[in-house]
Amino acid sequence: MLFESFNYGQQSFENRIAMAPMTRSRTSQPGDVPNDMMATYYKQRANAGLIITEGAPISAVGRGYSMTPGIYTQAHIDGWKKVTEAVHSAGSKVFIQLWHVGRRSHETIAGEQPVSASAVKDPDQVFGPLPEGGFGMVETGMPRALSEQDIQDTIADFVQAAKNAMEAGFDGVEIHAAHGYLIDQFMRMASNQRTDQYGGCQENRMRFMLETVEAVAKEIGSDKVAIRVSPHVIEGYAEEDPEIIQLTLKALAKLAPMNLAYVHFSENISRYVEAPESFRQQVREVYPNPIMVAGKLTKETAQQLLDKQYADLVAFGTPYVTNPDLVQRFKNDWPLTEFDADARLTLYGGNDKGYIDYPEYQQAQIKTQAQPA
């Protein structure tokens, strides 16, 4: 099933394999504009049925990592057109991940005080400018709580970003509601201490997420909208949320009638607990529409998820960093290039080294055979 096509609504993917979103921080400056090097990077990996881009901030205040490509200026739109044209020319589809980091930022990155559901901070670091110059990991700032008007303005920013994505030629958008970022901050008890309609009970804490998805779907069509969640990941928080699993299942039941392109579960990264099979069964009971799973999958474990109908699509992150021809390697049982310490060092920022210089398997074999004994 990994290599079978997948069709849902107006979407059609050549296979069930997706390239998961991964921050790479390779934009052109000033303005954090997508560039030719990024277009090459994504085109090299367009053997996936679907590519999901790295997170693209929907606004300046939504930015939490330096040198990430935005989707809120005309220059961003024009830059992303290079990427979508490159991916489409190689026969794949591409969604952009719409990103607002919330409190996981610093004023030197966002240009103003970070925002969140509440004025609550946990120890956390993000990639930004260092006081002594250059870039590295910096401690996040204390956020201010969004007002109800701020919330409506932020939803409008998501909608505008989705419209911009359509202008840039994307096949759809994936709303980032995972990994301790803004929407996730509204859903979790520790970061949401509001007493208005966006805080308190579970229904209120999922309200911002549901209103955002509904507004974006109304603007560009629900089959062009996906959402990423991570209920089993504890990233950006001091401790687990005792209600996040129950809240997620309730939210999925409310999302089901919207007929989204897919719901994307991010798992097994940062601090996490493993998703039990009982959770996958509960998800299927309330959510009959397309599901994607990502998180340290292998070809074998991905196939098992498809066989058990727990997932319809499976996403691979770091294997795609070092194996641009991942689908062909899977098909032919060719060995994978390991995501090693050197690859990790070039993950964020830099030039084409560790970005677009990884050879396909057959190219590597030819090069090896051509070397003198």
Give the pLDDT band (50/70/90) at residue 46.
Answer: very high
Cβ-based neighbour number of residue 11 at 10 Å: 19
In the numeric block, which tokens belong to residue 252?
């999925």
pLDDT at 373 exceeding the cut of 60: no
Per-residue pLDDT band at 372 (split at 50, 70, 90):
low
3-state secondary structure of 133: coil
pLDDT above 60: residue 112: yes
- As to burial, measured by CB atoms within 10 angstroms (0-12 exposed, 13-18 middle, 19+ buried), residue 369 is exposed
Q: What is the pLDDT of residue 367?
A: 66
Q: Rounded to the nearest 5°, which phi and psi values hold at 153?
A: -65, -35
Q: pLDDT category, 362, cuts 50, 70, 90?
A: confident
Quick check: 284 pLDDT over 70? yes
Q: Counting beta carbons within 10 angstroms of the beta carbon of residue 26, is it exposed (0 to 12), middle (13 to 18) or buried (19 or more)? A: buried
pLDDT tier, 260 (very low <50, low <70, confident <90, very high otherwise): very high
Is a pLDDT exceeding 90 seen at residue 364? no
Give SS3 for 266: strand
Quickly state the pLDDT bin for 371 (edges 50, 70, 90). low
Alpha helices in the chain (DSSP H): 36-44, 74-89, 107-110, 148-167, 182-187, 202-205, 207-220, 244-255, 277-286, 299-307, 318-322, 326-332, 341-345, 361-370
DSSP, collapsed to helix, strand or coil, labels residue 42 as helix
- From the centroid of its chain, how far is CA 174? 7
Mean pLDDT of the chain: 96
Asked whether the predicted pLDDT for residue 368 surpasses 90, the reply is no
Concatenated DSSP letters for 306-328?
A: HHTTS-SEEEESHHHHH-TTHHH
Q: Using one digit for the tens of pLDDT, what is the confidence trace for 149-169?
A: 999 999 999 999 999 999 999
Average pLDDT of the segment spanning 144-153: 98
Query: pLDDT-based confidence at 182, cuts 50/70/90?
Result: very high
Mean per-residue pLDDT for 230-248?
95
- pLDDT score, position 272: 93
Q: How far apart are alpha carbons 158 and 179 in whole angstroms? A: 18
Q: Over range 97-113, report the average pLDDT.
A: 96
Structure confidence at residue 366 (pLDDT): 77
Is the pLDDT reported for residue 96 higher than 80?
yes
Evaluate if residue 56 carries a pLDDT over 70.
Answer: yes
181 tagged catalytic: yes
**41, 181, 237, 320: which one is catalytic?**
181
Query: Is 254 in contact with 204 (CB distance < 8 Å)?
Result: no
